[in-house]
């Protein structure tokens, strides 16, 4: 497989005139191969936008290297920019007075492609992003969601090696967000684009990406296939179903022993969710429960989702 993006020990310190400098990205390294769709996931302030802006050479990193399709991005900006299209959070880089179609033609021209030869692809994108109805309306009159879709379509039409999307679904209503997710997922499944997208929404990442890089406080904490992460966590996530309520003593004992364990009580049942290593820990829970009146109805393996995995990793409970 072809390596199209290499980030090596990327570091960014924002120098402040007043107050302390901010270490936003701290020696991040990762690679992206051709046609991979990779999610950059992390809580607010983790360093996602800074990473994406650095790759798109919109800001100058403090240290490290970025290689795009064999081009040293920090040394040869022009050639690296020919290989990248980026849509940044909230920044809809489209021309307000131009219609969707004109915008798409403009970006094709900008990239030096022939509009005539790209006609088919432009029509395809208008279709895919459901912009046909509005293809003759100036962009400023489109809804925010449509503007966002158009911004992404304009980035796509440039047909660059890499597409960078910073929070592509942020602030969109549910319907448009799902539509966009569907489009990106389809592109990912067809395996015809290399995409690095950032999000703080794990559902978006779980839905679209095959691989996820989780960052927190400017550092990579996990870089793995989504499937592997789910598998790894599936093996250790348990749910105990208990008849009635737990005695307070037991609940305290459980939480003292397993600080991340969660207890949820309904009218007739209590559910205990815990991440347990091996059968010994399962027996420990059973022992603690035996101490009270609790009757265990069942112990099940829980289906984890990326959200829980993310929270556990970010809390530093599991690497
Ligand atoms: N221009 C700037 N000047 C100073 N500090 C900045 C600047 N831009 C970002 N930061 C800081 O750098 C850190 C990383 O910010 P960044 O925007 O990269 O995070 P993010 O992961 O994109 O967060 P969000 O989910 O909120 O978009 C944060 O602590 C932020 O406050
Ligand atoms: Mg951001």
The answer for residues whose C-beta is within 8 angstroms of residue 234's C-beta and 6 or more apart is 301, 302, 303, 304
- Ligand 1 atom showing the smallest separation from residue 25 Cα: 14
How high is the pLDDT of residue 89? Answer: 80
Looking at ligand 1, which atom is closest to the CA of residue 14?
4
Helix, coil or strand: residue 11: strand
CA distances (Å), origin 4, targets 36, 81, 236: 10, 13, 35
C-alpha to C-alpha distances, 48 to 28, 63, 250, nearest whole angstrom: 11, 16, 41
Nearest CA to 46 out of 229, 291, 202, 216 is that of 216
Q: Which of 11, 50, 197, 204 to mutate to test the pocket of ligand 1 (most atoms within 8 A of CB)?
A: 50
Q: For residue 316, what pLDDT is reported?
A: 64
56 CA → ligand 2 middle, Å:
14
Q: What is the DSSP letter of 91?
A: B
- The rounded Å distance from CA 208 to ligand 2 centre is 18
Written as six digits, the tokens of 127 are 């279709």
Give Cα separations from 22 to 9, 58, 214 (angstroms).
17, 18, 20
Measured in angstroms, how far is the CA atom of residue 25 from the centroid of ligand 1?
Answer: 9
Q: Mutation test of ligand 1: which of 10, 11, 14, 52 has the most ligand atoms closer than 8 Å to its C-beta?
A: 14
Instruction: Collect all residues with Cβ–Cβ distance below 8 Å to 311 and sequence separation of at least 6.
Output: none
Q: How many angstroms does the Cα of residue 43 sit away from the middle of ligand 2? A: 9
Tokens at residue 180, please?
């966009």
Residue-level pLDDT at 144: 86
- Which numbered atom of ligand 1 lies nearest the CA of 12? 12
Report which DSSP code applies to 210: S
Measured in Å, residue 49 CA sits from the centre of ligand 1 at 7
pTM of the model: 0.79
* Ligand sitting nearest the alpha carbon of 23: 1
Q: Which residue, 189, 213, 211, 172, is CA-closest to 52?
A: 213
CA nearest ligand 1 atom 3, residue: 14
Closest listed ligand to the CA of 47: 1
Q: Beta strand pairing status for 262-265 and 219-225? A: unpaired
Length of the chain: 319
Q: Which ligand minimizes its atom distance to the CA of 25?
A: 1
Which tokens in the block code for residue 57? 């050479």
CA distance 104 to 98: 9
> What per-residue confidence (pLDDT) applies to 91?
67
- Report the distance separating Cα 123 and Cα 128, nearest Å: 9
Ordered domains of the chain (ranges, CATH): 3-225 (3.40.50.300), 235-314 (3.30.70.870)
Our mutation pick for probing the ligand 1 site, out of 12, 25, 46, 204, counting the most ligand atoms within 8 A of Cβ, is 46
Of residues 245, 301, 294, the one with CA closest to residue 269: 245
Binding pocket residue ranges, ligand 1, CB within 6 Å: 14, 22, 24, 42, 44-50, 200
List the structure tokens of 242.
């208990």
| Whether the Cβ atoms of residue 181 and residue 192 lie closer than 8 Å to each other | no
Kind of pairing, strands 84-87 and 162-166? parallel
Nearest CA to ligand 1 atom 13: 24
Nearest residue by C-alpha to atom 4 in ligand 1? 14
Ligand 1: centre distance to CA 167 (Å):
13
The pLDDT tens digits along the chain (319 residues) read: 899 999 999 999 999 888 889 999 999 999 999 999 999 998 889 999 999 999 999 999 999 999 999 999 999 999 998 999 999 987 678 999 999 999 999 999 888 888 888 899 999 999 988 899 998 899 999 988 889 999 999 999 988 989 999 999 887 888 888 888 888 888 888 888 899 999 988 788 888 999 999 899 999 988 999 888 777 666 778 899 999 888 899 999 999 999 989 999 998 999 999 988 877 888 889 889 887 777 888 888 877 777 777 777 777 644 4
């Amino acid at each position: 497989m072809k390596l199209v993006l290499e980030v090596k020990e990327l570091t960014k310190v924002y120098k402040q005139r007043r107050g302390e400098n901010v270490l936003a990205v701290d020696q991040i390294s990762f690679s992206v191969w051709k046609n991979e769709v990779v999610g950059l996931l992390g809580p607010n302030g983790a360093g996602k936008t800074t990473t994406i802006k650095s790759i798109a050479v919109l800001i100058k990193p403090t240290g490290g290297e970025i290689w795009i399709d064999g081009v040293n991005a920090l040394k040869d900006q022009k050639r690296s920019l020919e290989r990248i299209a980026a849509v940044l959070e909230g920044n809809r880089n489209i021309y307000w007075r131009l219609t969707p179609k004109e915008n798409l033609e403009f970006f094709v021209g900008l990239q030096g492609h022939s509009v005539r030869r790209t006609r088919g692809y432009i029509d395809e994108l208008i279709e895919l992003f459901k912009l046909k109805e509005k293809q003759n309306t100036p962009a400023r009159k489109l809804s925010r969601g449509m503007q966002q879709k158009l911004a992404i379509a304009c980035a796509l039409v440039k047909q660059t090696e890499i597409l960078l999307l910073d929070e592509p679904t942020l602030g969109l209503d549910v319907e448009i967000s799902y539509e966009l997710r569907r489009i990106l997922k389809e592109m990912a499944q067809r395996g015809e684009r290399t995409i690095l997208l950032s999000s703080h929404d794990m559902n978006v990442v779980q839905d679209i990406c095959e691989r996820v890089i989780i960052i927190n406080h400017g550092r990579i904490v996990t870089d793995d296939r989504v499937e592997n992460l789910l598998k790894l966590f599936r093996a250790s996530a348990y749910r105990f179903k208990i008849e009635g309520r737990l005695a307070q003593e037991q609940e305290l004992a459980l939480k003292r022993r397993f600080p991340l364990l969660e207890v949820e009580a309904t009218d007739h049942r209590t559910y205990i969710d815990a991440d347990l290593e091996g059968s010994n820990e399962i027996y420990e829970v059973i022992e603690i429960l035996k101490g009270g009146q609790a009757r265990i109805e069942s112990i099940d393996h829980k289906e984890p989702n990326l959200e829980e995995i993310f929270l556990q990793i970010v809390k530093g409970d599991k690497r």
